[in-house]
Amino acid sequence: MITVAVLGATGYTALEAIKILLRHPEAKIVAVTSRQEGSPPISTVHPSLVGRLELPLEDLSPEEVGSRAQCVFSCLPHCASAEIIPKVLAAGAKVVDFSADYRLDDAATYLEWYGHEHADQGRLGNTVYGLPELFRDRIKGADLVANPGCYSTSAILPLSPLVKSGRFETDDIIIDSKSGVSGAGRQPKLMTHFPECNESISAYNVGRHRHTPEIEQVISRHAGALPQVIFTPQLAPMDRGILSTIYIRPKQPLAEGDVMKLLRDAYAGERFVRVVDHLPATKDTVDTNFCDITARVVRGRVLLISCLDNLVKGAAGAAVQNFNVLFNLPETAGLL
């Protein structure tokens, strides 16, 4: 069994990771951390864990965490992870980081979008981005994996095969994404207060959402130059799920079948990406690690539609998928 610790275990993505790890045949959770006073059992914070996991929430040092577990799932907030993770790695553990602290390649971009100096700048640009469908070979030999953002996964998976083909313009990519309220985290906020978000849909962070540079950076690896992305996230009145509609222009006219073939060829054999003929809906992927993708051609533009569960394929499921790759386990372990 591989021993696992979860840092920042009181949030939604941490709970989802714990639930997956509890059914994982090769994982054993040995520590869950939080700064809550009194070291209460984690089941007092997450009642769904009663009778399933009764570990106390501990305020452990990074060195203690790294010495106790072989792999650490860091569910700490942005900017906090980079303070802790170097010490966890030095103690000998591998880390899958849920935050954005290691997703971007340079400190200047991180400062621009997150408003903080990065605490571990030497690892920026050297940390593998945790999308196994695209970077599996690099993940296998890593000690630290940057788990992707949920919106980013919903955009990068459908876009990558098209951009890689060289048959599409990358200077005018439009991404329209709708997410369930859990994507905003467990901390109370006005926009996620029930009377504010129920029976309403609203855009937020227009032109300044932090997943924009992440999407551009990963797509640029196939494009040869930094693409121009307009990304508009919207809050939908549902608990979980993301539906992204993406608009991209082909350099020459393309038939719908040609676009679908690009997608199918790219993801043939990939267990968690389903290229489908129908228009996917968030209910198709809820509580699963699947990302469903389809394409349509409308007035010369290609429309890509993708959906996933923001807490699973967009966070905890992807992290367990990365964990499986790191430890040479079947990639589907715990996820089906």
Distance between CA atoms of 304 and 295, rounded to whole angstroms?
A: 5
Distance between CA atoms of 136 and 141, rounded to whole angstroms?
A: 9
Active site residues: 150
Distance between CA atoms of 211 and 152, rounded to whole angstroms?
A: 6
Residue 225's pLDDT is 82
Note the pTM of the prediction, 2 decimals: 0.95
Residue 36's pLDDT is 75
> In the chain, which segments carry CATH 3.40.50.720?
2-126
CA dihedral of residues 274, 99, 218, 278 (deg, nearest 10):
20
At a CB cut-off of 8 Å and minimum separation 6, what does 165 contact?
262
> In the chain, which segments carry CATH 3.30.360.10?
150-310
Least Cα distance to 95 among 322, 247, 311, 278 occurs for 322
The string of pLDDT tens digits covering residues 204-250 is 888 888 899 999 999 999 888 889 999 999 999 999 999 999 999 99
Task: Provide the H-helix boundaries in 165-310.
Answer: 194-197, 211-223, 256-267
Residue 290's pLDDT is 98
At a CB cut-off of 8 Å and minimum separation 6, what does 271 contact?
331, 332
Q: Which residues of 222-251 are buried (b: 16+ CB within 10 A; e: fewer)?
A: bbeeebebebbbebbebebbbbbbbebebe
Least Cα distance to 5 among 92, 65, 80 occurs for 65
Residue 222's pLDDT is 85
Residue 181's pLDDT is 86
Q: Is the domain 2-126 a CATH 3.40.50.720 member?
A: yes
Name the stretches of the chain with pLDDT < 50: none
Residue 198's pLDDT is 82
The string of pLDDT tens digits covering residues 189-212 is 767 777 777 888 988 888 888 899
Residue 35's pLDDT is 84
Query: What superfamily in CATH does domain 150-310 come from?
Result: Dihydrodipicolinate Reductase; domain 2 (3.30.360.10)
